[in-house]
Amino acid sequence: SNQNLEVEHELETGLATVTLAKAPVNSLDGEFLTSISNTFKKLENDSAVKGILVASKFHGGVYSAGLHIFDLFNRSDSHVSEFWRCVQEWYLDVFGCSKPVVAAINGQAPAGGCAMALVCDYRVMQEGKIIGLNETQLGITAPFYLADLMTATVGARKSRLALQLGYLFSSQEALNAGLVDEVVDLDSVIPRAREQLLMMSKVPQPAFHITKQLLRGETMKVLKATREQDIANFRSLIQMPFVQAVIGKYLESLKQKKK
């Protein structure tokens, strides 16, 4: 554990809780993504761990505000490339985790925050929050491994509309679309997520692991084979002056909101 990430182990059940604790909004910069990756690598290899719950320290506030936008604004090609490599690594380690993983979405979950929830096996969300892949609103796009996951989760038609518009769902809309599995009041988010995780952890684990691998292996294989191309695609989009201008405006609007 480091100060941005708390990991607790329940000895009797084998459940681990990963708490995202990077103030103020769990924005995912390269270092934070890497510490999440490394934590998942350890949990994957620890045979005492039977399941992983992912929650935010900012209970009732923000689950994760997504990628750290400052890593996308006015940065060198090499910075953007290395940052995107961390995003890929994070995806491979969390999406690729063979153990049951449940998201306790106890706050807002735009963009990468939604991605953090989508890579899990089950999602319990707090009522009255927002979730979605709003990338196009920032002038960028969700990579194929995230867009495909959205489609696999909510179906082709809803995914197409949501990705094109960069639509943010309310908790209730997310439930109706199947983007999350349950919507509950704040105090029930973590207990319900834990109950579901406990149930998943009791499925005979080799069967669980193989099934997860069966469902996710193809995406993993394609991403592993196309990492450099994916980085080059993202970098060339992000470095367009027009896109930089959109991101700059978006950062301005985040600041304006305060006044």
Which residues, in sequence order, are CB contacts of 43 under 8 Å at separation 6+? Answer: 7, 16, 18, 49, 52, 97, 99
Question: What is the number of residues in the chain?
Answer: 259
Residue 93 CB, nearest distance to ligand CO8 (Å)?
A: 12
Alpha helix segments (H runs only) across the chain: 30-45, 77-95, 112-118, 144-154, 156-165, 171-177, 186-201, 205-225, 227-238, 241-256
Catalytic residue among 67, 92, 138, 146: 67
* Active-site annotation holds for 233: no
Stretch that binds ligand CO8, among 137-145, 200-208, 211-219, 222-230 (CB under 6 A): 137-145
Mask for 200-239, x = binds ligand CO8 (CB under 6 A): ----------------------------------------
Mask for 22-61, x = binds ligand CO8 (CB under 6 A): --xx-x---------------------------------x
Beta carbon nearer to ligand CO8, 51 or 110: 110
Residue 89 CB, nearest distance to ligand CO8 (Å)?
A: 10
* Active-site annotation holds for 135: yes
Q: Around Cβ 12, how many Cβ atoms within 10 Å? A: 5
> What distances in angstroms separate CA 106 from CA 21, 117, 189, 216, one per listed residue?
13, 11, 6, 26
Beta carbon nearer to ligand CO8, 73 or 175: 73
State the residue for tokens 């103030």.
23
> What distances in angstroms separate CA 81 from CA 72, 169, 236, one per listed residue?
10, 30, 10
Binding residues for ligand CO8, rule: CB under 6 A, are 24-25, 27, 61-62, 65-70, 87, 91, 108, 110-112, 115, 134-135, 138, 142-143, 146, 254-255, 257
